[in-house]
Amino acid sequence: MELKDAVVLVTGANRGIGAEFVRLLKERGAGKIYAAARDESSIQADGVEPIRLDITDRGQIEAAARRAGDVQVLINNAGISTGTSLIGGDEEAVRREMDTNFYGALLLTRAFAPVLKANGGGAILNVVSALSWFTLPGAGAYAASKAAAWSLTDNARLELAPQGTHVVGVYMGLVDTDMSKGLEAPKVPVADLAGAGLDAIESGAQEVLADDWAKFVKSGLTLDPQQRYEKIFAALSGS
């Protein structure tokens, strides 16, 4: 679909990837942009309609769907990373990641699916991660939540196809945002990542592998676990 004149809602729109989606949507001539964040006063972009939206709050999600009944594109970008171990880490932190990275996107998709249908089908873009396809000690909660988001993305694509809704999953390694600050590794510029996602909406592509790391990790999914993780750890160590 064309993004020119389209009505788009972006979650986590106050910074990082979300703010870049907003900037690029304006460049591409989007007709209206609902910029959503837990604190709507943190939205700095001009020419957008700020929405207070905590994606872990069902009531706020339902209110957003009522208010933004003209939305044609939903961008599920908001997410968190607590650096919590899945086995030995704090259970509440694990739940926070799952509530945000999986349930938040799920509840938004459920709330806006009828809106998109009423407005001609439209599109949903989910910002996922290459960590949906592997895990690391200390990143277990994040990886589990993103694996669930990967499954959600595939399922939504199948379930919403009859109403004409195009579903895009975006997968990447590290992105040059506050979340990856201090990590010494190649990082995808936010403009490249957001631009590739918007290109997929316009071209009809279903999946974006935004960097070499995402391509590398996905290419190993057919290997048995020992071989797969030997390759991943070797690549991470530079050997």
pLDDT, average across residues 176-205? 83
pLDDT in tens, 214-228: 999 999 999 999 999
Q: What confidence score (pLDDT) does residue 34 get? A: 98
Q: What confidence score (pLDDT) does residue 185 get? A: 63
Q: What confidence score (pLDDT) does residue 187 get? A: 79
Q: What confidence score (pLDDT) does residue 110 get? A: 98
Mean pLDDT of the chain: 95
Q: What confidence score (pLDDT) does residue 73 get? A: 98
Write phi, then psi, for 20 (nearest 5 degrees): -70, -40
Q: Which of 34, 103, 142, 171 is catalytic?
A: 142
The answer to whether the predicted template modeling score (pTM) of the entire model surpasses 0.75 is yes
pLDDT in tens, 7-20: 999 999 999 999 99
CA atoms within 13 A on the CB side of 84: 19
142 is catalytic: yes
pLDDT in tens, 81-100: 999 999 999 999 999 999 99
Name residue, tokens 């391509």: 215
* CA torsion through residues 31, 199, 208, 212, sign: negative
Q: What confidence score (pLDDT) does residue 19 get? A: 96
pLDDT in tens, 130-188: 999 999 998 999 999 999 999 999 999 999 999 999 999 999 998 866 665 565 666 78
Q: 3-class SS at 36? A: strand
159 CB neighbour count, 10 Å cutoff: 13
Instruction: Give the whole-angstrom CA distance, residue 83 versus residue 79.
Output: 13
pLDDT in tens, 39-73: 999 998 999 999 999 999 999 999 999 999 999 99
State which H helix or E strand residue 7 sits in. strand 7-10
